[in-house]
Amino acid sequence: MSIVLESTAHANVRVMKIEHIAVWTRDLEKLRAFYEKYFGASAHDKYINPKKNFESYFLSFGEGCRLEIMQMPGIPTSENDVYKQFTGLVHFALSTGNKAEVDRLTELLRGDGYEVVGEPRTTGDGYYESVVLDPDGNRIEITE
């Protein structure tokens, strides 16, 4: 996703992109393994900051935006309800490339015990997608 900003002072155009999205987790290794197994993520080296007791991985999905998963004691549990819409970041989407793969991956995740909260369908704006919850209850749109 790119955002074009026009500068009135310099009359030039800059193209911006989302570099990464970050999520907190209580089980860093479990979440890393989930994204590697089901979405083909590639984890970079684990970052550890012993002073803050902070650990994280950046997960890459071939190209584009990365996902940073982070763990640190003392982070409060989210009070968001995964079944309702709310203000703030609600989901992120991972593209499979085609409808058959959306269907296959959705059924694989369902069969492995992950909750499907949006069945595969074509949305009003033309996307073919499903919505599943990762091990921490984050919504993932699986798109074609």
Eight-state DSSP code of residue 126:
S
19-76 falls under which CATH superfamily? 2,3-Dihydroxybiphenyl 1,2-Dioxygenase, domain 1 (3.10.180.10)
Q: What is the pTM of this model?
A: 0.88
CA distance 15 to 77: 35
In this structure, what are the phi and psi dihedrals at residue 14, rounded to the nearest 5 degrees?
-115, 140
Question: 104 pairs with which residues across the strands?
Answer: none
Quick one: pLDDT band at residue 9, thresholds 50, 70, 90? low
Question: How far is Cα 21 from Cα 70, in angstroms, rounded to an integer?
Answer: 11
pLDDT digits (tens, 9 = 90+) for 37-95: 999 999 999 999 999 999 999 999 998 999 999 999 999 988 888 888 788 889 999 99
Band (7; pLDDT cuts 50, 70, 90): very low
Q: For the segment 114-132, what is each residue's pLDDT rounded down to a tens digit?
A: 999 999 999 999 999 999 9
Q: Which CATH number fits domain 78-144: 3.10.180.10, 3.30.210.10, 3.90.550.10, 3.40.50.720?
A: 3.10.180.10
Residue 135 C-beta-side C-alpha neighbours within 13 Å: 17
